[in-house]
Structure 1
Amino acid sequence: MSATVAVILMLAVGTYALRLVGPVLHGRVELPARVQESLAAGAVVLLVALLATGALTEDGGFAGWARPAGVLVGGVLAWRRAPFAVVVLGAAATAGGLRALGVA
């Protein structure tokens, strides 16, 4: 057995064990309310950071104003509970329209 196969098998076993821990410990371990609130806040912060990075940067630099404007329009439409297709098309039309007008 090569080293690569051994590493893949170890990662597979580790992944399976990690996934098994959740159902096995579900009723036995209870997190304090403060920890649960921190985990929820951490998830939100992580998602916002991912959104900001994707919306504002491209190749390590500023993506220009068209992309953030499209993301903003998409966010407003999603907040107003527009259908998903309308959100995507609105964001794309905004970014595309601004780029057609010369706004980078």
Structure 2
Amino acid sequence: MSMLWIAVIAASVLSFGQKWLGYQVPPDVLDRPRIARITTLLPIALLGALVATQTAASGAEIVLDARLAALSVAAVLLLARAPFLVVVIAAAVAAAGLRALGWA
């Protein structure tokens, strides 16, 4: 068995253990205002970090390309309360257009 599979199995076991430990936390701990606020905002922060790294990173480098422009188009349309499908299509068209013009 390669080290990769050992790492995958170990990560799976640790992930399962962490999830199991989460179920063992008493409900009164989760009802505290500070904990409730953190658990409410945590998914938003994680999604923001994922979007930022997928938009501005390529491997270990920071790159500014059509993805950043597409994200900007999407942000403007979301602020304007456009329908989600319109936001996705407009961002894709912006990225494709910039890439067709040579701005990778």
For the aligned pair, the TM-score class normalised by the smaller chain equals 0.5 to 0.7
Cα displacement (A) at 1:46: 1.4
Other-structure match for 2:50:
50
- Residue identity matched to 2:69: A
Partner deviation per Cα, 1:12-55 (whole Å, 9 max, x = no partner): xx58x84xx49xx76x6652101111222333221211110111
Other-structure match for 2:99:
99
Q: Is the 8 A contact 2:69 2:94 kept in 1?
A: yes
Alpha-carbon distance between aligned partners in 2 of 1:45 and 1:30, rounded to the nearest angstrom: 19
- Residue identity matched to 2:43: A
Other-structure match for 2:60:
60
Alpha-carbon distance between aligned partners in 1 of 2:63 and 2:70, rounded to the nearest angstrom: 12
User: TM-score, normalized by length of structure 2?
Assistant: 0.64
Residue segments in structure 1 that go unaligned for 5+ positions in a row: 1-6
Aligned residue-pair number? 93
Residue segments in structure 2 that go unaligned for 5+ positions in a row: 1-8
Other-structure match for 1:71:
71
Cα displacement (A) at 1:67: 0.7
Other-structure match for 1:87:
87
- Residue identity matched to 1:33: P
Other-structure match for 1:4:
none
Alpha-carbon distance between aligned partners in 2 of 1:97 and 1:63, rounded to the nearest angstrom: 18
Q: Which has the larger radius of gyration?
A: 1
What is the percent sequence identity of the aligned residues? 36
RMSD: 3.2
